[in-house]
């Protein structure tokens, strides 16, 4: 059975105030929301009912803020263990003692994603002084406890030229996975985005490093959907190898195999853009997922540029980046360099 991914933000509590963070972009930290324990039980029941109906296995990405800062975090971890639901955490490095990591593993945490947003000066400028060293120091502690470590960079103009060097850092520090995704701007921060040419050049340099380190213990995840375009241009991916049917084989998961739940229960098609479709505390998730609000994310002929591209069923760029940049998720991905007549 295939997995269905839930990104679950249980709290907004956080020890950092990153310059690019969507949580703090609207000053929402003033409210500092976090989910109550009884609500967590309700959400978990809803998720399991959804998965039974959809014939999927639940995979939870528990996040925040920093999820471990939720006062009932260990209660939730205990519930997941009891229900035999594997999970990953997307969190900060600051509370990852050997003891906490051992406990996390016992409760079923398989992977921990840490952010690495540049070399030391850049990362610490975006996040907070000392954060770079604490992030790298957490890697061996997590691994010693049997938890895989993913390093994730959020790419913007601030760090674009340092991403290839982060591949070296990931390999040297024995991260299990390295990936990057793009910064989703708002109307006031568009100039923080890379140009398509800058982005493609950065990918080229990373690709060369991936080849260089192909025998290392680090797995290079081609998370950004524009990798499909990159490989297509090099003859490493061919849509003609797939049947000429209507099936969406790959690309953005939004509307296909993903839901985000926020700490007030709000259910989003994707956390990276304004895409609220209901509330996991009051709505049945299966009804939401199969309903008209979610259909908006599955009407592929509406995507202005992608609908005319032979990679439509495999890529679709990042609709959230397009939404932040142009004000519409159907607009062209601002970093897609493909010319389409």
Ligand X SMILES: C[S@@+](CC[C@H](N)C(=O)[O-])C[C@H]1O[C@@H](n2cnc3c(N)ncnc32)[C@H](O)[C@@H]1O
Instruction: Report the interface residues with ligand X, using CB under 6 A.
Output: 14, 20-23, 63-66, 90-92, 115, 152, 154, 183-184, 272
Least spacing, CB of residue 223 vs ligand SF4, in Å:
14
Q: Which does 229 bind (CB under 5 to 8 A by kind): ligand X, ligand SF4, none?
A: ligand SF4
164: Cβ–Cβ under 8 A, 6 or more apart, which residues?
Answer: 202, 205, 206, 208, 209
**For ligand SF4, which is the closer residue by CB, 264 or 293?**
264
Binding mask 208-237 for ligand SF4 (x = CB under 6 A): ---------------------x--------
**For ligand SF4, which is the closer residue by CB, 175 or 336?**
336
- Per CB under 6 A, the list member of 10, 44, 65, 180 interacting with ligand SF4 is 65
Distances, alpha carbon 157 to alpha carbons 21, 30, 198, 202, 229, in Å: 15, 28, 9, 11, 21
Q: Which does 152 bind (CB under 5 to 8 A by kind): ligand X, ligand SF4, none?
A: ligand X
CA atoms within 13 A on the CB side of 7: 16
39: Cβ–Cβ under 8 A, 6 or more apart, which residues?
Answer: 265, 281
**Omega of the bond leading into 12 within 30 degrees of 0 (cis):** no
- Per CB under 6 A, the list member of 10, 11, 14, 169 interacting with ligand SF4 is 14
The yes or no reply on residue 21 touching ligand SF4 (CB under 6 A) is: yes
- Per CB under 6 A, the list member of 64, 67, 108, 185 interacting with ligand SF4 is 64
Least spacing, CB of residue 151 vs ligand X, in Å:
10
Query: Using CB under 6 A, which residues numbered 77 to 96 contact ligand SF4?
Result: 92
Least spacing, CB of residue 112 vs ligand X, in Å:
10
Query: Rounded to whole angstroms, how far apart are CA atoms 248 and 312?
Result: 8
Q: Which does 336 bind (CB under 5 to 8 A by kind): ligand SF4, ligand X, none?
A: ligand SF4
Query: Rounded to whole angstroms, how far apart are CA atoms 196 and 218?
Result: 27
Tokens (6 digits) for 136 = 């790298």
Tell me if 294 sits within 8 A of 276, measured CB to CB.
no
Helices (H), the chain: 22-25, 37-54, 73-82, 98-107, 120-126, 131-144, 163-172, 196-212, 226-233, 285-290, 292-295, 319-326
Q: CB burial class (10 A; 0-12, 13-18, 19+) of residue 324?
A: buried
44: Cβ–Cβ under 8 A, 6 or more apart, which residues?
Answer: 79, 80, 83, 85
Binding mask 302-331 for ligand SF4 (x = CB under 6 A): ---xx--x-xx--xxx--------------
Q: Which does 91 bind (CB under 5 to 8 A by kind): ligand SF4, ligand X, none?
A: ligand X
Least spacing, CB of residue 16 vs ligand SF4, in Å:
4
φ, ψ at 102 (rounded to 5°): -60, -45
Q: Which does 170 bind (CB under 5 to 8 A by kind): ligand X, ligand SF4, none?
A: none
Q: Residue 2 in 3-state DSSP?
A: coil
Distances, alpha carbon 253 to alpha carbons 115, 259, 330, in Å: 21, 9, 15
- Per CB under 6 A, the list member of 108, 297, 333, 334 interacting with ligand SF4 is 333
**For ligand SF4, which is the closer residue by CB, 291 or 327?**
327
Q: Which does 313 bind (CB under 5 to 8 A by kind): ligand SF4, ligand X, none?
A: none
By CB under 6 A, name the binding residues for ligand SF4: 14, 16-18, 21, 23-24, 64-65, 92, 229, 305-306, 309, 311-312, 315-317, 333, 336, 338, 340
């Amino acid at each position: 059975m295939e997995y269905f991914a839930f990104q679950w933000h249980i709290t907004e509590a956080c020890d950092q105030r990153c310059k690019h963070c969507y949580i703090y972009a609207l000053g929402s930290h003033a409210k500092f929301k976090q989910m109550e324990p009884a609500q967590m039980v309700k959400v978990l029941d809803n998720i399991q009912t959804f998965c039974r109906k959809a014939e999927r296995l639940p995979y939870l990405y528990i996040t925040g803020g920093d999820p471990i800062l939720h006062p009932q975090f260990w209660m939730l971890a205990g519930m997941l263990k009891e229900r035999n639901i594997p999970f990953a955490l997307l969190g900060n490095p600051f509370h990852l003692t050997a003891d906490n990591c051992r406990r996390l593993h016992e409760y079923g945490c398989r992977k921990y994603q840490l952010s690495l947003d540049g070399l030391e000066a850049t990362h610490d400028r975006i996040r907070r002084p000392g954060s770079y060293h604490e992030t790298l120091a957490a890697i061996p502690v997590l691994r010693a406890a049997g938890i895989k470590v993913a390093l994730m960079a959020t790419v913007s103009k601030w760090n674009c030229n340092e991403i290839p060097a982060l591949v070296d850092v990931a390999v040297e520090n024995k991260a299990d996975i390295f990936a990057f995704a793009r910064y989703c701007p708002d109307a006031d921060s568009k100039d923080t985005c890379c140009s398509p040419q800058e982005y493609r050049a950065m990918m080229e340099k990373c690709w060369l490093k991936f080849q260089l380190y192909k025998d290392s213990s680090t797995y290079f995840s081609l998370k950004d959907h524009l990798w499909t375009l990159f490989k297509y241009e090099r003859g490493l991916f061919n849509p003609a190898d797939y049947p000429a049917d209507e099936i969406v084989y790959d690309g953005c998961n939004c509307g296909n195999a993903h839901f985000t739940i926020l700490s007030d229960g709000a259910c989003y098609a994707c956390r990276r853009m304004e895409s609220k479709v209901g509330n996991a505390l009051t709505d049945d998730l299966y009804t939401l997922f199969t309903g008209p609000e979610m259909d908006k994310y599955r009407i592929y002929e509406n995507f202005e540029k992608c609908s005319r591209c032979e990679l439509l069923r495999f890529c679709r760029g990042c609709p959230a980046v397009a939404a932040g940049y142009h004000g519409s998720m159907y607009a062209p991905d601002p970093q897609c360099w493909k010319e389409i007549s």
